[in-house]
Amino acid sequence: MKYSKYCLILLLNLLIAIFILYKITSLALKWVDIYTKHGSYVIVPNLRYLTLNQSISILKKLGLKYDVDTSHYDPSFKPYQVLSFFPEAGDPVKVGRYIYIQANAKKFQTTVLPNIINKNKRIAIKLLHANHILVKDIKYVNDLSKDTVLKVVYKGKIIPSGSILPHQDGITLIIGKGYEKNDYSYPVPNVTGMSLSNATYTLKEKLFNIINFYYDDPLDDDTAATKAKVYRQEPSPGKKQDKKKPIYLWLTTKPLDRLIKTSESNESNKNYSTKNMEEEKIPINKEIDEQKTKPSVFGNKS
Protein backbone atom coordinates (compact mmCIF):
# COMPACT_ATOMS: atom_id res chain seq x y z
CA MET A 1 0.00 0.00 0.00
CA LYS A 2 2.75 2.44 0.94
CA TYR A 3 4.59 1.69 -2.30
CA SER A 4 1.51 2.37 -4.48
CA LYS A 5 0.82 5.59 -2.52
CA TYR A 6 4.34 6.90 -3.23
CA CYS A 7 4.01 6.06 -6.94
CA LEU A 8 0.70 7.96 -7.14
CA ILE A 9 2.22 11.07 -5.51
CA LEU A 10 5.21 10.94 -7.86
CA LEU A 11 2.95 10.64 -10.91
CA LEU A 12 0.82 13.63 -9.79
CA ASN A 13 3.94 15.77 -9.27
CA LEU A 14 5.23 14.81 -12.71
CA LEU A 15 1.93 15.77 -14.38
CA ILE A 16 1.86 19.10 -12.53
CA ALA A 17 5.44 19.83 -13.65
CA ILE A 18 4.62 19.01 -17.27
CA PHE A 19 1.54 21.28 -17.15
CA ILE A 20 3.56 24.19 -15.69
CA LEU A 21 6.30 23.73 -18.32
CA TYR A 22 3.70 23.72 -21.11
CA LYS A 23 2.15 26.97 -19.87
CA ILE A 24 5.56 28.68 -19.56
CA THR A 25 6.49 27.58 -23.12
CA SER A 26 3.17 28.83 -24.53
CA LEU A 27 3.55 32.22 -22.87
CA ALA A 28 7.15 32.51 -24.09
CA LEU A 29 6.16 31.74 -27.68
CA LYS A 30 3.37 34.30 -27.58
CA TRP A 31 5.77 36.93 -26.21
CA VAL A 32 8.27 36.17 -29.00
CA ASP A 33 5.52 36.50 -31.63
CA ILE A 34 4.49 39.86 -30.21
CA TYR A 35 8.08 41.09 -29.87
CA THR A 36 9.12 40.02 -33.39
CA LYS A 37 5.76 40.97 -34.90
CA HIS A 38 5.37 37.46 -36.28
CA GLY A 39 2.89 37.40 -39.14
CA SER A 40 3.01 41.18 -39.63
CA TYR A 41 4.37 41.48 -43.17
CA VAL A 42 4.24 44.19 -45.80
CA ILE A 43 5.31 44.09 -49.45
CA VAL A 44 8.26 46.27 -50.46
CA PRO A 45 7.07 48.79 -53.06
CA ASN A 46 8.98 49.66 -56.23
CA LEU A 47 11.00 52.79 -55.39
CA ARG A 48 13.21 52.92 -58.49
CA TYR A 49 13.09 56.25 -60.37
CA LEU A 50 11.17 57.88 -57.52
CA THR A 51 12.67 60.86 -55.73
CA LEU A 52 14.16 60.34 -52.30
CA ASN A 53 11.37 62.32 -50.61
CA GLN A 54 8.67 60.27 -52.36
CA SER A 55 10.34 57.00 -51.34
CA ILE A 56 10.69 58.03 -47.69
CA SER A 57 7.03 59.09 -47.56
CA ILE A 58 5.85 55.70 -48.91
CA LEU A 59 8.06 53.73 -46.53
CA LYS A 60 6.81 55.68 -43.50
CA LYS A 61 3.19 54.93 -44.39
CA LEU A 62 4.03 51.21 -44.55
CA GLY A 63 5.76 51.28 -41.18
CA LEU A 64 9.20 50.62 -42.70
CA LYS A 65 12.49 52.29 -41.78
CA TYR A 66 15.14 53.43 -44.26
CA ASP A 67 18.87 53.99 -44.66
CA VAL A 68 20.06 56.25 -47.50
CA ASP A 69 23.37 56.26 -49.41
CA THR A 70 24.08 59.22 -51.73
CA SER A 71 27.75 58.53 -52.48
CA HIS A 72 27.15 57.32 -56.07
CA TYR A 73 26.63 59.52 -59.10
CA ASP A 74 24.95 58.54 -62.38
CA PRO A 75 24.57 61.33 -64.96
CA SER A 76 21.52 59.60 -66.50
CA PHE A 77 19.54 60.08 -63.23
CA LYS A 78 18.31 63.26 -61.62
CA PRO A 79 19.78 64.41 -58.28
CA TYR A 80 18.44 62.32 -55.36
CA GLN A 81 16.58 59.96 -57.68
CA VAL A 82 16.55 56.36 -56.43
CA LEU A 83 19.13 54.21 -58.22
CA SER A 84 18.52 50.95 -56.35
CA PHE A 85 17.17 49.57 -53.08
CA PHE A 86 17.20 46.43 -50.98
CA PRO A 87 15.18 44.29 -50.23
CA GLU A 88 13.83 44.33 -53.77
CA ALA A 89 10.31 45.27 -54.87
CA GLY A 90 7.73 42.58 -54.09
CA ASP A 91 9.67 41.02 -51.21
CA PRO A 92 7.66 40.48 -47.99
CA VAL A 93 9.29 42.09 -44.97
CA LYS A 94 8.28 42.64 -41.37
CA VAL A 95 6.98 45.97 -40.19
CA GLY A 96 9.87 48.05 -38.89
CA ARG A 97 12.41 46.50 -41.28
CA TYR A 98 15.14 48.77 -42.74
CA ILE A 99 15.08 49.40 -46.50
CA TYR A 100 18.50 50.39 -47.87
CA ILE A 101 18.20 53.04 -50.57
CA GLN A 102 20.94 54.18 -52.95
CA ALA A 103 20.04 57.58 -54.33
CA ASN A 104 21.83 59.61 -56.98
CA ALA A 105 24.27 62.24 -55.67
CA LYS A 106 23.53 65.91 -56.23
CA LYS A 107 26.70 66.36 -58.29
CA PHE A 108 29.72 64.41 -59.52
CA GLN A 109 32.01 63.81 -56.56
CA THR A 110 35.74 63.11 -56.58
CA THR A 111 38.32 62.15 -54.00
CA VAL A 112 42.10 62.22 -53.76
CA LEU A 113 44.15 59.03 -53.60
CA PRO A 114 46.02 59.10 -50.26
CA ASN A 115 49.67 58.07 -49.97
CA ILE A 116 49.48 54.32 -49.37
CA ILE A 117 52.71 53.24 -51.07
CA ASN A 118 54.93 51.17 -48.73
CA LYS A 119 52.11 51.01 -46.17
CA ASN A 120 50.72 47.81 -44.67
CA LYS A 121 47.76 46.34 -46.56
CA ARG A 122 45.27 46.77 -43.71
CA ILE A 123 46.24 50.38 -43.03
CA ALA A 124 46.07 51.19 -46.76
CA ILE A 125 42.58 49.72 -47.16
CA LYS A 126 41.31 51.68 -44.15
CA LEU A 127 42.68 54.90 -45.65
CA LEU A 128 41.04 54.13 -48.99
CA HIS A 129 37.65 53.41 -47.41
CA ALA A 130 37.88 56.63 -45.40
CA ASN A 131 38.32 58.45 -48.71
CA HIS A 132 35.43 56.56 -50.38
CA ILE A 133 37.73 54.61 -52.69
CA LEU A 134 36.86 50.96 -53.27
CA VAL A 135 39.41 48.16 -53.69
CA LYS A 136 38.06 45.99 -56.47
CA ASP A 137 41.06 43.68 -56.74
CA ILE A 138 44.33 42.80 -54.98
CA LYS A 139 47.26 41.23 -56.83
CA TYR A 140 50.25 39.74 -55.05
CA VAL A 141 53.79 39.70 -56.45
CA ASN A 142 57.10 38.32 -55.21
CA ASP A 143 58.75 41.02 -53.13
CA LEU A 144 60.62 41.19 -49.84
CA SER A 145 58.05 43.69 -48.52
CA LYS A 146 55.34 41.25 -47.50
CA ASP A 147 51.77 42.63 -47.19
CA THR A 148 53.03 46.07 -48.28
CA VAL A 149 51.41 48.16 -51.03
CA LEU A 150 53.86 48.51 -53.94
CA LYS A 151 51.67 50.07 -56.66
CA VAL A 152 48.14 51.35 -57.27
CA VAL A 153 46.47 50.56 -60.61
CA TYR A 154 43.40 52.37 -61.96
CA LYS A 155 41.87 51.38 -65.32
CA GLY A 156 45.00 49.44 -66.25
CA LYS A 157 47.46 52.25 -65.44
CA ILE A 158 49.74 52.79 -62.45
CA ILE A 159 48.73 56.02 -60.69
CA PRO A 160 50.66 58.03 -58.09
CA SER A 161 49.47 59.33 -54.74
CA GLY A 162 47.41 62.51 -55.05
CA SER A 163 45.56 61.35 -58.18
CA ILE A 164 41.93 62.51 -58.50
CA LEU A 165 39.44 59.65 -58.57
CA PRO A 166 35.63 59.51 -58.78
CA HIS A 167 33.86 58.61 -55.53
CA GLN A 168 33.49 54.86 -55.00
CA ASP A 169 35.52 53.98 -58.11
CA GLY A 170 37.47 50.76 -57.79
CA ILE A 171 41.25 50.41 -57.89
CA THR A 172 43.67 47.48 -57.91
CA LEU A 173 46.42 47.14 -55.32
CA ILE A 174 49.75 45.48 -56.11
CA ILE A 175 51.02 43.99 -52.84
CA GLY A 176 54.20 42.10 -52.00
CA LYS A 177 53.80 38.53 -50.83
CA GLY A 178 57.40 37.83 -49.84
CA TYR A 179 59.20 34.74 -51.09
CA GLU A 180 58.49 31.08 -50.53
CA LYS A 181 60.24 29.57 -47.52
CA ASN A 182 62.16 27.17 -49.74
CA ASP A 183 63.27 29.94 -52.11
CA TYR A 184 66.54 31.40 -50.88
CA SER A 185 67.13 33.61 -53.92
CA TYR A 186 66.78 37.36 -53.49
CA PRO A 187 67.42 40.33 -55.80
CA VAL A 188 70.89 41.75 -55.24
CA PRO A 189 70.76 45.45 -54.22
CA ASN A 190 72.81 48.06 -56.06
CA VAL A 191 75.84 49.03 -53.95
CA THR A 192 77.88 50.61 -56.75
CA GLY A 193 79.45 53.88 -55.62
CA MET A 194 79.21 53.01 -51.92
CA SER A 195 82.04 52.65 -49.44
CA LEU A 196 82.82 49.14 -48.22
CA SER A 197 81.09 49.70 -44.87
CA ASN A 198 77.91 51.06 -46.48
CA ALA A 199 77.89 48.33 -49.14
CA THR A 200 78.35 45.63 -46.49
CA TYR A 201 75.53 47.05 -44.36
CA THR A 202 73.16 47.23 -47.36
CA LEU A 203 73.92 43.67 -48.46
CA LYS A 204 73.61 42.16 -44.98
CA GLU A 205 70.32 43.98 -44.49
CA LYS A 206 69.07 42.00 -47.52
CA LEU A 207 70.38 38.74 -45.97
CA PHE A 208 73.59 38.50 -48.05
CA ASN A 209 76.16 37.72 -45.37
CA ILE A 210 79.10 36.36 -47.40
CA ILE A 211 80.91 39.26 -49.05
CA ASN A 212 84.26 39.02 -50.85
CA PHE A 213 85.91 42.31 -51.76
CA TYR A 214 88.91 43.30 -53.85
CA TYR A 215 90.97 46.51 -53.92
CA ASP A 216 92.44 47.48 -57.29
CA ASP A 217 95.12 49.62 -55.61
CA PRO A 218 97.35 48.62 -52.70
CA LEU A 219 96.19 50.53 -49.63
CA ASP A 220 98.59 51.32 -46.82
CA ASP A 221 96.21 52.31 -44.06
CA ASP A 222 92.59 52.33 -42.92
CA THR A 223 92.11 55.97 -43.95
CA ALA A 224 92.74 55.09 -47.59
CA ALA A 225 90.39 52.10 -47.29
CA THR A 226 87.51 54.34 -46.24
CA LYS A 227 87.98 56.41 -49.40
CA ALA A 228 87.65 53.41 -51.73
CA LYS A 229 84.30 52.98 -53.49
CA VAL A 230 82.60 50.02 -55.16
CA TYR A 231 82.79 50.28 -58.96
CA ARG A 232 81.76 46.72 -59.82
CA GLN A 233 79.74 43.92 -58.21
CA GLU A 234 78.82 40.34 -59.01
CA PRO A 235 76.05 39.37 -59.40
CA SER A 236 74.94 42.63 -60.99
CA PRO A 237 72.18 44.71 -59.30
CA GLY A 238 68.70 43.23 -59.59
CA LYS A 239 69.78 39.68 -60.35
CA LYS A 240 68.56 36.95 -57.99
CA GLN A 241 71.23 35.25 -55.91
CA ASP A 242 71.12 32.50 -53.30
CA LYS A 243 71.73 34.22 -49.97
CA LYS A 244 74.14 31.42 -49.04
CA LYS A 245 76.43 32.27 -51.97
CA PRO A 246 79.03 35.06 -51.85
CA ILE A 247 78.76 38.55 -53.31
CA TYR A 248 81.90 39.91 -55.00
CA LEU A 249 82.82 43.59 -54.80
CA TRP A 250 85.60 45.52 -56.53
CA LEU A 251 86.76 48.80 -54.95
CA THR A 252 89.09 51.60 -55.99
CA THR A 253 90.16 55.07 -54.88
CA LYS A 254 90.23 56.28 -58.50
CA PRO A 255 87.33 58.27 -60.09
CA LEU A 256 84.39 55.91 -60.58
CA ASP A 257 82.77 57.20 -63.80
CA ARG A 258 85.12 55.49 -66.23
CA LEU A 259 85.41 52.29 -64.23
CA ILE A 260 81.62 51.95 -63.81
CA LYS A 261 81.07 52.42 -67.57
CA THR A 262 83.69 49.76 -68.33
CA SER A 263 82.02 47.38 -65.86
CA GLU A 264 78.56 47.98 -67.35
CA SER A 265 79.97 47.36 -70.86
CA ASN A 266 81.34 44.02 -69.74
CA GLU A 267 78.00 43.05 -68.14
CA SER A 268 76.11 43.82 -71.38
CA ASN A 269 78.24 41.39 -73.39
CA LYS A 270 75.98 38.31 -73.65
CA ASN A 271 78.78 36.02 -74.89
CA TYR A 272 80.96 36.65 -71.85
CA SER A 273 81.45 33.10 -70.54
CA THR A 274 81.85 31.96 -66.96
CA LYS A 275 85.35 30.69 -67.82
CA ASN A 276 86.43 34.14 -68.97
CA MET A 277 85.00 35.66 -65.80
CA GLU A 278 87.08 33.31 -63.68
CA GLU A 279 90.21 34.10 -65.76
CA GLU A 280 89.56 37.80 -65.21
CA LYS A 281 89.70 37.28 -61.44
CA ILE A 282 93.09 35.47 -61.64
CA PRO A 283 95.30 38.58 -62.09
CA ILE A 284 93.61 40.23 -59.11
CA ASN A 285 94.06 37.19 -56.91
CA LYS A 286 97.66 36.77 -58.16
CA GLU A 287 98.45 40.36 -57.29
CA ILE A 288 96.87 39.82 -53.89
CA ASP A 289 99.07 36.75 -53.27
CA GLU A 290 102.15 38.80 -54.10
CA GLN A 291 101.15 41.45 -51.57
CA LYS A 292 100.21 39.27 -48.62
CA THR A 293 101.96 41.68 -46.32
CA LYS A 294 99.22 44.24 -47.05
CA PRO A 295 95.99 42.82 -45.58
CA SER A 296 93.88 45.77 -46.76
CA VAL A 297 94.21 44.65 -50.39
CA PHE A 298 91.76 41.74 -50.07
CA GLY A 299 89.10 40.87 -47.55
CA ASN A 300 86.16 38.67 -46.81
CA LYS A 301 83.19 39.62 -44.68
CA SER A 302 80.74 36.98 -43.67
Q: pLDDT in tens for each of the 302 residues of the chain?
A: 567 777 778 888 888 888 888 888 888 777 766 665 555 789 999 999 899 999 999 999 998 999 998 877 777 888 889 999 999 999 999 888 899 999 988 776 778 889 999 999 999 999 888 887 888 899 998 887 888 999 999 988 999 988 888 766 789 999 998 765 555 677 888 988 888 888 888 888 887 888 888 777 666 556 556 678 888 888 888 888 887 788 898 888 777 665 655 555 555 444 444 444 444 443 434 333 433 333 333 455 55
Nearest to 103 by CA among 62, 61, 55: 55
How far is the first Cα of the chain from the last one, in angstroms, to the nearest whole number? 99
Q: How many CA atoms lie within 13 A of 183 on its CB side?
A: 11
Q: How far apart are CA 133 and CA 199, in angstroms?
A: 41
Summarize the chain as % helix, strand, coil (round to 5).
35, 25, 40
- pTM more than 0.85: no
162 touches 113 (CB < 8 A)? yes
3-state secondary structure of 159: coil
Nearest to 249 by CA among 206, 188, 292: 188
